[in-house]
Amino acid sequence: MRKSTKLLSLLIALMLAVSLVGCGGATESDDTSSNEAPQEAPQETPQETPEEAEITVSPAIVDAVNSYFANMPDHIYKINQSEFVDKVKAGEDMFVLDIRQPDVYGEGHIKGAVNAPWGTAVSDSLDKLPKDKPIMVYCYTGQTAGQTVALLNMAGFDARSVNLGWNLGISKVEGVDEVTETTANDFAEVEPLEIDPDVKEAIVSYFEGLDGVKDTMFKNYKISEDSLNELVNAEDNTIEILSIRSEKDYANGHIPGAINIPWGAGMETEFSTLPMDKTIVVYCYTGQTAGQTVAGLRMLGYDAVSLNGGMGMDANAPSGWANKGYEVIQ
């Protein structure tokens, strides 16, 4: 009887010991799991850069920018200077916006053109532009008109820029004198276009931001060929050079260090590959589609500027990187 009691006690003690070991193992496993979870969270956080975390863009702005590029028409928001002058001569129903400075506007402009100088005068005019007519915009050489046209289309207008602007495009068209005047024209009363509040606010901020760069190398959200060359030679790592020329033309020759996102519908899907913490220097052929791209990128929160004159391989546009004799690599 005593042997049975001792044996039973021994079995109970053994079972209790096994049970305690099992519970201890489960508890240790749970503790390890709970200790690892907080360690994983900090590892994910650094993947998001401070710049990405600070920039917030409303869905309405993202949609406006993406739609602009995704639904790019065949005319790519531009009109040939000769075709434009022919339309003016034919008296086509359109609105012409001259965004040059008032002094040169006064010296001569397209018949019927209204002046809203580049800058806040453009954003101040949003409620004065017709919503039921195509709007033709021109500047000096097409780059700031490209920015303007992109913003106007994102707001909901039907706008196009005149190729090469006044200096290199319109003024070179034969017979343009017939439709050139010096009389100033005023905005007519119109029913304002209903613009998404977030998009409108962003456009206003876009033009207000010009004051912050007017005394820098990025005035008008552009950079000169000379300034970019200095940055390239210094191997400046605060910039990212973006060529939006065709893949073929990029392969044949591009600015040292440049990456390539070819201009065209769908290019907006590649914008997320660009760094938020660098200045994106965009260049095309003569600077005009680069201007459109800069507008889209800046609306999304990127610090983007366009290269004056683009790559510069156009006889009508003596400015530009290649025409200045700067290095081109393959």
- What are the pLDDT digits (tens) for 276-290? 999 999 999 999 999
DSSP readout, 59-105? Answer: HHHHHHHHHHHHT--TTTTEE-HHHHHHHHHTT-S-EEEE-S-HHHH
Q: Indicate the pairing of strand 180-181 with strand 95-98.
A: unpaired
In the structure, what pLDDT confidence band is assigned to residue 56 with cuts at 50, 70 and 90? confident
- What are the pLDDT digits (tens) for 152-182? 999 999 999 999 999 999 999 999 999 999 9
Average pLDDT over residues 307-324: 82
- For the chain, give the mean pLDDT: 86
Of residues 68, 121, 296, the one with CA closest to residue 202: 296
Orientation of helix 59-70 relative to helix 197-208, angle to 10°: 80
Class of residue 94 by CB neighbours under 10 A (exposed 0-12, middle 13-18, buried 19+): middle
pLDDT value, residue 316? 58
- What are the pLDDT digits (tens) for 30-40? 222 333 333 33
What is the Cα 279 distance to its own chain's centre?
A: 11
Is residue 327's pLDDT more than 50? yes
Asked if residues 105 and 174 have their Cβ atoms less than 8 Å apart, the reply is no
Amino acid at 259: I
Asked if residues 289 and 264 have their Cβ atoms less than 8 Å apart, the reply is no
Distance CA 112, CA 95 (A): 8
Entry pTM: 0.82
Asked if residues 269 and 292 have their Cβ atoms less than 8 Å apart, the reply is no
Is residue 20's pLDDT more than 60? no
Strand runs labelled E in the chain: 78-79, 95-98, 109-110, 114-115, 135-138, 159-162, 180-181, 222-223, 239-243, 259-260, 279-283, 303-307
pLDDT value, residue 36? 32
Of all residues in the chain, the percent with pLDDT exceeding 90 is: 81
Average pLDDT over residues 180-209: 98
Distance CA 99, CA 115 (A): 6
Average pLDDT over residues 18-37: 33
